[in-house]
Amino acid sequence: MAKKAKSKAPAKSKAAARRGGKSGASARLNDDIGEAKRLQMYQMLLEVRYLENRANDLFMQNLVKGTIHLSIGMEAVAAGCGAAMAKDDYTFCTYRGHAHTMVRGAPMTAVLGELMGRECGLLNGKGGSMHLTSVEHGAMGSYAIIGAHLPIAVGAAWSAQYRGSGQVSVCFFGDGATNIGAFHEALNMAVIWKLPVVFVCENNLYMEYTPIADVTAVEHPAADRASAYGLAEILVDGNDADAVYRTALKAIETARAGGGPSLIEAKTYRHLGHSRADPGTYRPEEEIEAWKKRDPIPMYRQRLLDFGVKDGVVSGIEEAVMKALDIATEEAKASPTPGLELVDTEVWADGGSSWRN
């Protein structure tokens, strides 16, 4: 039998909202997700998009130290999962981690400050974009080594299981990580020990500059491999925040109840290159445009309106987020660079290295 051709064009969402009467719109708005949760997710989507656009501007002004990896176009994965998590759950993510850190509640000023190498940053400006961490918000680190955090997320889940804390570890990684050993080792161990961990593959079709389809034996790099570990195949539209939320919530609730791990593959697309050093010219222009037509933020805004949310409410959220971002930007710019007295702090578990030298 001939192998089915692989397509990179985005699939049309089956959950696309349709206009209806006032009563029908109200019923859809107040379904299993509800108005409050949808407005929360819309705010999350905007906070990430607006901040990353601002970060891009600051990078072009040479105010961001080092390169940055933006998730513009992929925000629905972070928002949907973040809205489904409990406050004390754990997030582990990649170097493309601005979104995942922010949806857990990390302040804009602290995120921008870290990107700019300022003392007000999450890590006093010493970690930068690729290492965002905010333990107090459950953001347990952004990891620059591909797949290195998967076993660590498993360890955090094992800790939660051992302590009986009810916490769930949610681990985000790119499609490229599915072809390395740590992915398989982490999944295998999580299943054997029935750990409370949810693995989320953000499949944006490219492992840096290489199409994942060119180097992977299966069409869906995560979902098609789930059965090898006795897990269900879960493939979700990563540009639909509602679909991601429902899928993540079910997996997280299963893990919290002792039902073991899940593996979710969210198909999405980054609008820009791999990093700010990458113009992304290896991608077909028609592919980029097709995915931009399914930009998760305009789609979600229209859904809110279709479901009966007043335009003034939606616009109010947009204005409030932009105002908060403008304030955060100026606060971060005004913050000093870290002094020498901070060099050896947050290096060892006890907070410093002086007693070791």
Alpha-helix residue ranges (DSSP H) falling in 130-265: 149-163, 181-192, 241-256
pLDDT digits (tens, 9 = 90+) for 184-205: 999 999 999 999 999 999 999 9
Q: What is the pLDDT of residue 23?
A: 60
Is residue 213 assigned to a domain?
yes
Is residue 352 assigned to a domain?
no
Q: What is the pLDDT of residue 348?
A: 75
Is residue 4 assigned to a domain?
no
For residue 2, what pLDDT band results from cuts at 50, 70 and 90? very low
Q: Is 68 within 8 Å of 107 (Cβ atoms)? A: no
Phi, psi angle pair for 93, to nearest 5°: -140, 180
Is residue 338 assigned to a domain?
no
The residue range of the domain holding 176 is: 35-326
- Taking residues 124-144, what's their average pLDDT? 95
Q: Of 15-29, 70-84, 130-144, which range is least confident?
A: 15-29
Is residue 300 assigned to a domain?
yes
Give the count of beta carbons closer than 10 Å to the beta carbon of residue 312: 8
pLDDT digits (tens, 9 = 90+) for 49-65: 999 999 999 999 999 98
Encode 233-245: b = buried (16+ Cβ within 10 Å), e = exposed: ebbbbbbbbbbbb
For residue 147, what pLDDT band results from cuts at 50, 70 and 90? very high
Tell whether the model's pLDDT for residue 27 goes beyond 50.
yes
Tell whether the model's pLDDT for residue 8 goes beyond 80.
no
Instruction: Give the total number of structural domains in the chain.
Output: 1
pLDDT digits (tens, 9 = 90+) for 303-352: 999 999 999 999 999 999 999 999 999 999 999 999 988 877 777 776 66
Is residue 287 assigned to a domain?
yes
For residue 82, what pLDDT band results from cuts at 50, 70 and 90? very high
Is residue 345 assigned to a domain?
no
* Dihedral of the alpha carbons of 124, 127, 131, 132, in degrees to the nearest 10: 20
pLDDT digits (tens, 9 = 90+) for 265-287: 999 999 999 998 899 999 999 99
Q: Please tell me whether the overall predicted TM-score, pTM, comes out greater than 0.85 for this model.
A: yes
Is residue 23 assigned to a domain?
no
For the chain, give percent helix, strand, coil, nearest 5.
50, 10, 40
End-to-end CA, the chain: 67
Which CATH number characterizes residue 256's domain? 3.40.50.970
pLDDT digits (tens, 9 = 90+) for 206-258: 999 999 999 999 999 999 999 999 999 999 999 999 999 999 999 999 999 99
Q: What is the pLDDT of residue 196?
A: 98
pLDDT digits (tens, 9 = 90+) for 159-192: 999 999 999 999 999 999 999 999 999 999 999 9
Q: What is the pLDDT of residue 145?
A: 95
E strand intervals along 204-242: 206-207, 210-211, 234-237
